Structure 1
Amino acid sequence: MLYALICTDKPNSVDLRMKERPGHIDYLNGLGTALKAAGPFTDEAGSPIGSLVIVEAKDRAGAEEIAKNDPYAKAGLFAAVEIRAWKWGLKNPEDK
């Protein structure tokens, strides 16, 4: 099942995000095929203010584990993380 991890950064945390970014990217790449899509939310000026990560997990507990082990989460970057079951409706690259 697919899950959307909707992560909101704490205010004034761009420096922490940039410091932890290499580990975050390595972590996401290490998820292999479980990672379906990822990228930052930005403010109108283009500064990152959160993340959207789409993952495949056996169940919600698996998605929670992925979210918890993200270096951004471990560093305390996020003010909130919402996990929602998600269904890819259109333009799924895995659809043939």
Structure 2
Amino acid sequence: MPYLIETWDKPDSIPLRMKHRPDHLEYLANNASLLLASGAKLNDDGKDVGGGIYIVDTDSRNEATAFIEADPFFKAGLFEHISIVRWRKAYLANVCFL
């Protein structure tokens, strides 16, 4: 069963996020085979709220933890808090898994 990883950035860390964003995007591209979905959390007006969501296709919490800890955002100290929970696929891209 996959894991959902949610991150929250430290306050006032947009400059740190922008500095490490190219390396973060490269990391995601290099690990695309593990990602079912990922993206930044946004306000209703489309502005970044400082954090993201990743759904990683792994059966191990240790692998999910290793994935987020290898992310350049994590290595740069961007995150204030990280949550990792198991996730059961029910609907994804208009496909029902039930």
TM-score > 0.5, shorter chain as reference:
yes
Contact 1:29 1:35 in 2 (8 A): no
Q: Secondary structure at the match of 1:66?
A: helix
Cα distance in structure 1, aligned partners of 2:31 and 2:24: 11
Match of 2:37 in 1: 37
Match of 2:80 in 1: 79
Structure 1 residue runs of 5 or longer lacking an equivalent are none
- Identical amino acids, percent of aligned pairs: 34
Structure 2 residue runs of 5 or longer lacking an equivalent are none
Please tell me the residue identity of whatever aligns with 1:86.
W
Please tell me the residue identity of whatever aligns with 2:92.
K
TM-score (norm 1): 0.88
Cα shift at 1:42: 2.0
Contact 1:5 1:53 in 2 (8 A): yes
Listed one character per residue, the Cα deviations across residues 2-43 of structure 1 (whole Å, up to 9, x for unaligned) are 111100000111111111101111101111321111111123
* Residue 16 of structure 2 corresponds to residue 4 of structure 1: no
* Residue 66 of structure 2 corresponds to residue 28 of structure 1: no
Say what the alpha-carbon RMSD is for the aligned residues. 1.9
Q: Secondary structure at the match of 2:91?
A: coil
Contact 2:90 2:96 in 1 (8 A): no
Q: How many residues align?
A: 96
